[in-house]
Amino acid sequence: MKYKLTPFNITSLILILIAIYHAIFPGQYGFGLLGLYYLLPIALFGIFIDFIAQRTLRKYSKIFLLEMGVLVLILSSFAWQKRTKTYIIPDQRDFEFVVTIYDVEVAEKFPKNPVVWAYEREVATHGFLLNANSLDADLPETKIFTVSGVSLQDSNPQGLCFAQVHAASIEVGSKSYAYQAWKIGENGSAVYSSDDINALEVKMKEYLKTEL
């Protein structure tokens, strides 16, 4: 059997080279060494599967199409999990949390439809956003920027950052509303307590009562 180049073994070779590079240059904190534990096993598994495929299927076109289809499926699944919503917060603000409250029928739907890969919303001075969609229907990733363009997911001179608070729900009247909150931090730290969350939920209920 003549071993041929295929999508799997080419991809595996690239992963091996990346793992070797990061092993030689692991970075300041040595995180590059993680490539040996994650990328290398994946690459070796890919080569093994490709070897079995070339031994059993024989026909190159069938192997190529099958492996390319699997790679496209994997990459599409990864990209689907990286769909991102972006929140724009004021440069000067009085709130410590950005909060999206879901299942609010009088609000707009974000995303507008299931195939949207990204959307952007500006956060008002109170920090609350309403969404007619359910929490599960929202995009999984979140980015936050200030109006002036400061990225809270990257290092910045102000030390602005954010941390995602676990999702929960509140009850207003006889209905339950899911919410997701993000704590805005300064000096590289976004710390909050259960008392902060309790106080936030009180503010959420008061805000919802004025909007419903």
pLDDT tens for 85-124 read: 999 999 999 899 999 999 999 999 999 998 899 999 999 9
User: Mean pLDDT, to the nearest integer, of 65-77?
Assistant: 95
The predicted model scores a pTM of 0.81
Phi, psi for residue 131 in degrees, rounded to 5: -140, 130
Same domain, 146 and 101: yes
In a domain, 2, yes or no: no
Least confident of 36-40, 127-131, 170-174, 192-196: 36-40
Residue finishing a domain among 81, 98, 128: 81
Same domain, 99 and 172: yes
Same domain, 53 and 156: no
Range of the domain at 194: 84-211
Specify the pLDDT at position 26: 84
Same domain, 17 and 113: no
Same domain, 63 and 94: no
Residue finishing a domain among 62, 81, 100: 81
Same domain, 173 and 207: yes
Specify the pLDDT at position 212: 85
Same domain, 88 and 75: no
Same domain, 132 and 146: yes
Same domain, 158 and 69: no
The rounded Cα 4 to chain-centroid distance in angstroms is 37
In a domain, 112, yes or no: yes
User: Mean pLDDT, to the nearest integer, of 179-203?
Assistant: 95
Q: Residues of the chain with pLDDT > 90: what percent?
A: 83
> Angle, to 10 degrees, between the axis of helix 34-56 and the axis of helix 7-24?
160
Same domain, 49 and 151: no
User: Mean pLDDT, to the nearest integer, of 14-38?
Assistant: 85
